[in-house]
Structure 1
Amino acid sequence: MAASNSTPLMSRVTLGRALRRLRDEVNHLTLAEVASALGCDTSLISRIELGKRNCSQQHFAKLMDVYAVPERERAGLVELHAATRERRQPWWAPYGEVITADYERYLGFEAAASVVHEYQVGMLPGLLQTERYARAVIGAGFASLGPDQIDALVEVRDLRQRRRLLETDDPLACHYVVTQAALEFQVGGRQAHQEQLQYLLELSDHGSVELKVIPYEKGEEGTQIAAFRIFRFTDGDVPDVAFGESVAGSLLLDDPRDLRRLHRLFGNLSGAALDPGRSRDLITRIKNRKEE
């Protein structure tokens, strides 16, 4: 049961999912019963199952006994547990000074995901942004940062694009829905805006990108108060996760009820949007109008 990704974060999530299945579906034990057997708090078991905390060697060995895991299955879990404890440095490690814990968690999920469904209200998705657009929105959103820190975050945005979309044999399958407002905002000035619209037209031809635009005339069908994105993974042991945007930053959503609601919401928004071809036509019209 080796992890199907290269990040310790995703190994933790995969292990946690497997341990939860063993507790709940196989042995029919409660969190309290397992915590009592291990002599720890229920919150620790919960965080391990959610992939939010590493499972110590001592606790892992006890769990294997409590769950009476057969030797063949245990060998795979031992391998997976070892992967959660490897000291591998992710590609974003050199930028640790400017990457928050929440952003690092987001990068870990993005690095391992196979599909993303993303809705944006007034901003374009990060993987579709030009360098000037990214610099403008990062500079406005993180006004307290110095020029060097903004430069570093722009570099991180560029590396994300290259690693997950532009320079990889296994690109992220990107399904984007944006409002027309996201196209109309003149981010970074007139020239930068034109450059960004042209870049959108180029990337909309990428085989891994589906870009759909909700036009103004759709009204309430296409408006939600906040952006969100849902990550899906090839590994069936790893559940979907979502991130919702707020003024306080990105909020991780992993409750199955939240995910069902967001999948349904994304489907409705996608249904209200123009198809990719007509979306390209709208982008072209906006670009030509802005050029006049």
Structure 2
Amino acid sequence: MEIPSDVEILKTQLGIELRRLREEAGYPAIEACKAIGAQTPKLSKLENGNQTADPEDIRKLAEFYRAPDEVRDYLVALAEAQPKRRRRRKSVERDAVPDWFRRFLALEWDATEIRSYAIESVHGLLQTEAYARSNILAGEPEADERIVSKQVSTRMERQASLKRNGRPSLRLDVVLSEAVLRRVQGSNEVMRSQLKHLIASSKRPNITIRILPFDVPDRITIPSAFQLFRLQEQNLSTVYLEDLFGATYLKEADQYTRYNVAFARLRDAALDPPASRTFIAKVAESYT
């Protein structure tokens, strides 16, 4: 397992994982504090990524929450990787395979807002099961069916962040290139079902979908997909970029601002939500 060198991302992930374990175990913060002999403010700082974690405290909390051994050891490793003294943060943080996706899942689960520009595939939070399976198999055609099924289940489970209970739902704002709608994934039937799902999803109050048609003149050109994450409780804003080798996080203010401006220009060039639904419906009719 490779641990990221960036302290802020590491502490944020650890805090998210701890709070998720506590909530799933059904413990209020005051009860969890007893496991490490601490006051509620300390646990709050840990869960919000604002305090360096003591590995032994993390072990005690994970055991108190009855986390599986593998999860406990992983969280302890995250705590042990945190330096005692804060060092200068890198403006670009590179995550390694396979740990990068686990970190991504934690950030996505706790994000209050995600803005995304997609040029090849439908955003994972908006995919149907059939589309997701085809998408995964396209990337790993020789993968064992058990692995594929697990990855499909994980992708479907991620969508729970769009309808959280007891906490604010994720606000998802997506700009899709027309290429996403035209590139056949699986079959015409899979595509037709997927596009109908996009239309239905776009009507939910916390989801906005805009389509960027091919024929928009003189629009800004962005060579790759990207996502903008905001985590309110952790006071974290980061740009998320992904490629075949892993993921990169850009957290400096000027980096985030440049991508934020680029997204705004893409959004302004795209069709508005009602027109986008009409456009998606028209493309869906072509998959007969």
Equivalent positions of 1:241-280 (< 5 A) are: 241-280=238-277
- What residue is the counterpart of 1:140 in the other structure? 138
Cα 1:213–1:239 change in 2 (3 A) is same
| CA deviation string 1:219-261 (max 9, x = no partner) | 55154211111111222x5221221122323322222222111
Amino acid at match of 1:78: K
- Aligned to 1:176, what secondary structure does the other structure show? strand
TM-score, normalised by the number of residues in structure 2? 0.69
Letter in 2 for 1:181: A
1:195 maps to amino acid: S
Residues 212, 274 of structure 1: 8 Å contact kept:
yes
TM-score (norm 1): 0.68
What is the Cα deviation at residue 141 of structure 1? 1.8
Could you tell me how far 1:115 is from its partner in structure 2? 0.7
Q: Could you tell me how far 1:185 is from its partner in structure 2?
A: 1.2
User: How many residue pairs align between the two structures?
Assistant: 222
Structure having the higher Rg: 1
Counterpart CA distance in 1 for 2:214 and 2:272 is 15
Task: Say which of 36, 41, 48 aligns to 2:7.
Answer: 48
Give distance in 1, aligned partners of 2:190 and 2:8: 45
The aligned counterpart of 2:31 is none
Residues 234 and 122 (structure 1 numbering): CA distance in 2 closer, same or farther, change over 3 Å? same
Question: Does the aligned pair in 2 maintain the 1:226–1:246 contact within 8 Å?
Answer: no
**Is it true that 1:234 corresponds to 2:232 in the alignment?**
yes
Query: Offset of 1:159 from its aligned partner?
Result: 0.6
Q: Determine the structure 2 residue equivalent to 1:10.
A: none
Note the 1:107-256 alignment, pairs <5 A.
107-161=105-159, 163-166=160-163, 168=165, 170-219=168-217, 221=219, 223-235=221-233, 237-256=234-253
What is the CA–CA distance in structure 1 between the aligned matches of 2:197 and 2:108, rounded to whole Å?
22
Alpha carbons of structure 1 residues 249 and 277: separation in structure 2 relative to 1, 3 Å:
same
The AA in structure 1 aligned to 2:262 is: L
Name the CA distance, whole Å, in 2 between partners of 1:75 and 1:125.
40
Mapped partners of 1:140, 1:152: distance in 2: 15
Counterpart in the other structure of 1:78: 42
Deviation at 1:289, TM superposition (A): 2.6
8 Å CA contact 1:204–1:211 kept in 2: the answer is yes
> Does the CA-based 8 Å contact 1:115-1:174 persist in structure 2?
yes
Equivalent residues of 2:189, 2:287 under 8 A apart:
no
1:41: which partner in 2? none
Give CA-to-partner distance per residue, 1:190-221, whole Å, 9 cap, x none.
11111111111111111111000001111551
Question: Residue 209 of structure 2 aligns to a residue in which SS?
Answer: strand
TM-fit CA distance, 1:178:
0.5
Alignment CA distance shift 1:79-1:176 (3 Å)? same
Supply the AA of the counterpart residue of 1:212: R
Deviation at 1:140, TM superposition (A): 1.4
Aligned to 1:288: 285
> Where in structure 2 are there 5+ consecutive unaligned residues?
15-37, 48-52, 75-96
CA RMSD of aligned residues (A): 3.0
Deviation at 1:151, TM superposition (A): 0.5
Unaligned runs of at least 5 residues, structure 1: 1-43, 55-73
Distance 2:274 2:125 in 1: 20
Partners of 1:269 and 1:287 lie apart in 2 by 23
